[in-house]
Amino acid sequence: MTSIGISALISMLMYVIAILFAWWVMLPIKWDKFLQHPRGPQAVLLRVLLAVALGSSLARFLLEYAGFAQRLKFLFS
């Protein structure tokens, strides 16, 4: 049971870190070229949703990749 809890904690932390990383990566984007009101609440919400979408995709990829790497040992045993 403890390993399941640790796995859940690692997954949650990975998602949060990946979302923050996606937010950081999107900071230099010049939003005024794409949006009429880049400082408005809708633009901020769009950036948050994009960060969540990109970050969760990144986290899912990394967690699945780690799972695949852990299961590789069964190929050789």
Domain around 49: 2-75
| pLDDT band for position 76 (cuts 50, 70, 90) | confident
The answer to whether the CB of 35 falls within 8 A of the CB of 72 is: no
Q: How many domains does the chain have?
A: 1
34-67 confidence digits (pLDDT tens): 999 999 999 999 999 999 999 999 999 999 999 9
Sign of torsion over alpha carbons 53, 18, 37, 45? positive
